[in-house]
Chains A and B, each alone.
Chain A
Amino acid sequence: MLTDILQLLIYGILLGSVIALSAVGVSLIFGILRFAHFAHGDLMTAGAYFALFFMTATGASIWLAFPFAVLAAILVALAFDRVVYRRLRRTRPVILLIASIGVAFILRNAVLVIWGPDITVYESGIKPPMRFLGLRIKEDQLIIIIGTVLLVILLSLFLQRTRMGKAMRAMADDPDLARITGIDTDRVILWTWVIGAGLAAAGGVFLALDTRLQPTLGWDILLAIFAATILGGIGKPYGAIAGAMVVGISAELGAGLPGVFGADWSLTSYKPAITFLLMVAMLLWRPQGLVGGRA
């Protein structure tokens, strides 16, 4: 029984990792550009398919395709910023939000047109999971968790130690003051997209690796990403990571626990509902996030 719960915990951390990589970007974009980026899930999808494209075009492995996918997703995000979001910078946040829903549609349908609606995988064949103290974990899953930890450490070093990282935090604190101070806000915005889209692509590749590629890959997980962002306190990247773990683990535990306790039914198809309940509860009781006080 304990083993079963630990196993669910591993799945939770796995899901949490994928959510975390995207939620960080949503949180940074909200902090700096002041709108909820609804195209973030589809940016993940695009990243996942860019990796597939590189693999089929060159025959390379998924790990060689990974940096290509990240780079391509960054370029796509920068292009959309240039063509769509930048023109709307001086308008109200809700207009940017709706524009991002439009961008989400464009991205998802572009994926549909180019790669078709069929579900696919990076590499076919079944790899047996590794076993450790009765727990099962696949090699890919281990790489996903380790990769996420590394990326989060890199992000943290960037935000805490570099001039641009500090400027990003400053602008998230107070965009007007950042402008008055002489911080180059256009460059901060550019870096926000680089980091946000890069991490989204990483999350998309990881998610596709753990499950399967399909055009709604990222859109399906957007609710969980927003829930994590809200849980962490909107605009706080570190909070978003913690929020992602809470969302990932509670979704997996909530779905799997009845089975562990011998129930012959499962809540697996209710994972989004669990996430949704978590988000509503959070908005009702602690809209400022789990940690910190600033609303």
Chain B
Amino acid sequence: MTLLAAEKLRGGYGGADILNGTTLRVGASEIVVIVGPNGAGKSTALKALVGLVSLREGRIIFGDEEVTGLRADQLAARKLCYVPQEKNVFASLTVQENLEMGAFLRRDDFSARMEQIFDLFPVLKERRRQAAGTMSGGQRQMVAIGRALMLEPRLLLLDEPTAGLSPKFTEMIFTKIVEINTMGVAVLMVEQNARDALAIAHRGYVLVMGQNRFEDTGPALAANPEVAHMFLGG
């Protein structure tokens, strides 16, 4: 079942178009990865999905509703949550306060959800009273993902969740993404660590110049010699 369908997106930040007809689909229980060279429009594609880029053309369907042009907070209310690559935690707030802010749209009791997130990332429970800005990059990423999960999203958009992380933390984040997926959350992410990301992905897209170049299952893309030659370093 298709959860998200973005058709022929065109647009950018006001100048020349960065997206030139990008099309993305995510199934209800899939992990989908977008890879591609620098400047291919990968992050822009994610931002376009949550209304942070103005689209000239194209439409976005989430569930059974057209959501083209909706703002990020409106989409969060519809259980489509976005985690930006940088500046994705409230630095002066504690870990627990960050999670509480993630649940700002909820008026019900979310303590059980917070416990679930603490089970997923035990280090966040240990450091619940620490200011998020004083934590390591990997831990901040966990705070950011945990915050997005507070709304119990059906689809999680992750913009380079492992950027700048050590190999140990990178592997750890990918493991957690699989775990989150088994909790019933679909994941669409942009990744520079293409090989590792494709290894956990059900499907992947290769974007070049804002257009779909390849689309296949994760392992098939990783094994595709042309893709390997272009982006995976031989």
Kindly identify, within residues 107 to 122 of chain B, every residue whose CB is under 8 Å from any CB belonging to chain A: none
B84 touches A170 (CB 8 A): no
Say yes or no for B123: interface residue by CB 8 A criterion: no
Residues of B within 8 A of A170 (CB): 90, 93, 97, 101
Known contacts A169-B93, A174-B87; decide if A180 and B100 are in contact (CB<8 Å): no
Kindly identify, within residues 49 to 95 of chain B, every residue whose CB is under 8 Å from any CB belonging to chain A: 50, 52, 71-73, 76-77, 82, 84, 87-93
Known contacts A167-B104, A180-B84; decide if A173 and B76 are in contact (CB<8 Å): no
Taking the nearest CB of chain B, how far is it from the CB of A261, in angstroms? 43
Complex Cα spacing A184 to B77, Å = 12
Kindly identify, within residues 168 to 200 of chain A, every residue whose CB is under 8 Å from any CB belonging to chain B: 169-170, 172-174, 176-184
Residues of B within 8 A of A172 (CB): 92
B90 touches A169 (CB 8 A): yes
Complex Cα spacing A256 to B84, Å = 54
Chain A's closest residue to B74 (CB) is: A182
Say yes or no for B228: interface residue by CB 8 A criterion: no
Name the one of A163, A181, A294 contacting B91, with C-beta atoms under 8 angstroms. A294
Taking the nearest CB of chain B, how far is it from the CB of A156, in angstroms? 14
Say yes or no for B105: interface residue by CB 8 A criterion: yes
Taking the nearest CB of chain B, how far is it from the CB of A191, in angstroms? 13
Say yes or no for B10: interface residue by CB 8 A criterion: no
B50 touches A176 (CB 8 A): no
Q: How many residues of B contact A (CB 8 A)?
A: 25
Residues of A within 8 A of B50 (CB): 180
Complex Cα spacing A184 to B76, Å = 12
Q: How many residues of A contact B (CB 8 A)?
A: 18
Name the one of A169, A173, A176, A182 contacting B104, with C-beta atoms under 8 angstroms. A182
Chain B's closest residue to A179 (CB) is: B73
Taking the nearest CB of chain B, how far is it from the CB of A21, in angstroms? 22
Residues of A within 8 A of B71 (CB): 179
Say yes or no for A138: interface residue by CB 8 A criterion: no
A180 touches B93 (CB 8 A): no
A181 touches B147 (CB 8 A): yes
Chain B's closest residue to A236 (CB) is: B92
Residues of B within 8 A of A179 (CB): 71-73
Chain B 120-134 interface mask (CB, 8 Å, partner A; 1/0): 000000000000010
Complex Cα spacing A172 to B133, Å = 14
B101 touches A181 (CB 8 A): yes
Say yes or no for A89: interface residue by CB 8 A criterion: no
Name the one of A163, A173, A182 contacting B90, with C-beta atoms under 8 angstroms. A173
Name the one of A166, A167, A181, A294 contacting B73, with C-beta atoms under 8 angstroms. A181
Name the one of A163, A177, A182, A294 contacting B87, with C-beta atoms under 8 angstroms. A177
Find the residue from B50, B72, B102 having the highest chain A CB count within 10 A. Answer: B72
Name the one of B52, B76, B87, B101 contacting A166, with C-beta atoms under 8 angstroms. B101
Q: List 29 A-B contacts (CB under 8 A).
A: A163-B104, A166-B97, A166-B100, A166-B101, A167-B104, A169-B90, A169-B93, A170-B97, A170-B101, A172-B92, A173-B91, A174-B87, A174-B90, A177-B84, A177-B88, A177-B90, A180-B50, A180-B52, A180-B72, A180-B73, A180-B76, A180-B82, A180-B84, A181-B73, A182-B76, A182-B77, A182-B104, A184-B104, A294-B91
> Measuring CB to CB, which residues of chain B are less than 8 angstroms from any residue of chain A?
50, 52, 71-73, 76-77, 82, 84, 87-93, 97, 100-102, 104-105, 133, 147, 151
